[in-house]
Structure 1
């Protein structure tokens, strides 16, 4: 993380602001020296992941096309509002911190997430019903993230391994996007009442809602969905479809990682898809954007 943005002057203020949310610790230093336990703490992880997207967008701002659809995965949906210019970048980071705090306060503890690929939706639903778990995220290609207590997920994983192509626990401390976090949705919706909207959602870049993949048009409805997403299933496959229906000519994942661009490439092999992490320099990303986007 931050390999291309750590020294970008456009992102300097973002790193400074994020440090104030992280106990005055430089986020770049946390990433360089932090252990897995530190990096995967719910609040820290959400701030770092959102900072990555916002810093990347700041560094690429002058090269981004005028026609832009922005979709965010999990906490990335809050970052997407910032990338699209609906929230200021610093307000976005503040909201991410409040979101994580609300989730931690609402979580009963001992919860987590499990990734399962290679089973049908009906099979996944039956597993969840038997084990008191829930579908947290629907990805393309029969890939699902499930949420529940760790004990529940361990039992579910043992059963799923007989037929699934891949089953792996995720380093997440809360059952995101399940009804177990209904209290966090309510608390975060209250926080959204105080954020300043920079412009109308209908101007410029389109933002997609994670709960149904539809574009945000009305501010109140958009806020309602952004808060509800904490405790409702994220329909990521629908978000990718929404990008295609909106005329996407390429996918660029701001990061961290490459998982989302790989999903997009797998689902829509005829659409170029890259992650910022795949480039060695920002100049390489600039050139790719110029070649694969329309103004």
Structure 2
């Protein structure tokens, strides 16, 4: 059974999607439609911009979404998923690829999400850190022990790799404690703020209104969502999980484990980079992985 997976923020690179634009009339049409919807030429930034341009949340998120979704749509009959999933932002790509959401609505929501997250980041100085080689339970315990600052597990990426999220002071304090507890590394990331933490509450409020007023359909296959980690097909549940995702952790390890338990034998990553293929291999080492970008 084939599982198609879609990457999140951090996978972007200058030149992403350019080959698609130049070789596929459908891709070109979709990219131009996106330029029109966004009100600026995101293709110029994707194809010829700088790393700094692409690192802006308001550019990164729609850029990765467009690359991933257009790859899926240009596959035509070759895109026959038995299940789909996306990492954080990638969940929107997965939902559009699986026809739960139209391309236009998906792009509008992703752009609104990016702007709302950027605004929430500017309200509170906050960040994230990658923690390597420490048990999930220990990371959770240390985060919970810090009560005077916000710090929570944000991404369960694979066994031995968790990303934590919170206030600047909270992350500094947690990194110190995690290293003392035996973590191989506790490394602050170059991100705009504390994604998937309570500090994203203002963005969640803003986005929930937009999601609730957008029409969702039943997807063509189950979607394994970050929040629930199990197969979802009900549009109402999908919406609720998508809203909850902004302040809840991305449970990627658990999602992949459930997909494998439900029969996935091959994972195909659509979008920039190959991060998810690497994570899947660490979660289920005998699984076949490949990618298109």
Please indicate the TM-score interval, normalised by the length of the shorter structure.
0.7 to 0.9
Give the Cα–Cα distance (whole angstroms) in 2 for the partners of residues 9 and 170 of structure 1.
Answer: 38
Give the Cα–Cα distance (whole angstroms) in 2 for the partners of residues 147 and 262 of structure 1.
Answer: 22
Give the Cα–Cα distance (whole angstroms) in 2 for the partners of residues 75 and 186 of structure 1.
Answer: 17
Structure 2 residue corresponding to 1:200, chosen from 218, 221, 225: 218
- Name the counterpart of 1:18: 34
Answer whether contact 1:41 1:172 (CA < 8 A) is retained.
no
Give the Cα–Cα distance (whole angstroms) in 2 for the partners of residues 52 and 4 of structure 1.
Answer: 11
Does residue 1:59 correspond to 2:74, yes or no? yes
Q: Give the drift of 1:154.
A: 3.2
- Name the counterpart of 2:115: 101
Answer whether contact 1:211 1:232 (CA < 8 A) is retained.
yes
- Name the counterpart of 1:226: 242
Give the Cα–Cα distance (whole angstroms) in 1 for the partners of residues 283 and 174 of structure 2.
Answer: 27
Q: With the length of structure 1 as denominator, give the TM-score of the two structures.
A: 0.84
Residue ranges of structure 2 left out of the alignment (5+ in a row): 1-15
Answer whether contact 1:40 1:171 (CA < 8 A) is retained.
no
Q: Give the drift of 1:246.
A: 2.7
- Name the counterpart of 2:45: 30
Give the Cα–Cα distance (whole angstroms) in 2 for the partners of residues 164 and 17 of structure 1.
Answer: 46
Q: Give the drift of 1:130.
A: 4.3
Answer whether contact 2:35 2:41 (CA < 8 A) is retained.
yes
Tell me: CA distance 1:167–1:276, structure 2 relative to 1, closer, same or farther (3 Å): farther
- 3-state SS in 1 of match to 2:246: helix
Of the structure 1 ranges 8-17 and 255-264, higher mean CA displacement relative to structure 2 is found in 8-17
Does residue 1:139 correspond to 2:157, yes or no? yes
Answer whether contact 1:22 1:44 (CA < 8 A) is retained.
no
Could you say which structure has the greater relative contact order, defined with CA pairs below 8 angstroms and 6 or more residues apart? 2
1:215-271 residue CA offsets vs partner (Å, 9 max, x unmatched) = 223221210111110011111111112221332121011122111111111221221
Count of residues in Structure 1 that have an aligned counterpart in Structure 2: 272
Between structures 1 and 2, the one with greater strand share: 2
1:172-201 residue CA offsets vs partner (Å, 9 max, x unmatched) = 21211111112322221210122233x323
Does residue 1:241 correspond to 2:254, yes or no? no
Structure 2 residue corresponding to 1:113, chosen from 128, 132, 142: 128
- Name the counterpart of 1:187: 206
- 3-state SS in 1 of match to 2:113: helix
Of the structure 1 ranges 231-240 and 130-139, higher mean CA displacement relative to structure 2 is found in 130-139
1:31-60 residue CA offsets vs partner (Å, 9 max, x unmatched) = 344333321111211111111111111122
Of the structure 1 ranges 119-128 and 30-39, higher mean CA displacement relative to structure 2 is found in 30-39
Residue ranges of structure 1 left out of the alignment (5+ in a row): 278-295
Structure 2 residue corresponding to 1:211, chosen from 217, 222, 227: 227
Give the Cα–Cα distance (whole angstroms) in 1 for the partners of residues 169 and 18 of structure 2.
Answer: 37
Answer whether contact 1:81 1:207 (CA < 8 A) is retained.
yes
- Name the counterpart of 1:85: 99
Moved over 4 A (4+): none
- 3-state SS in 2 of match to 1:190: helix
1:145-176 residue CA offsets vs partner (Å, 9 max, x unmatched) = 11112343234334434532333333321211
Q: With the length of structure 2 as denominator, give the TM-score of the two structures.
A: 0.85
- 3-state SS in 2 of match to 1:231: coil
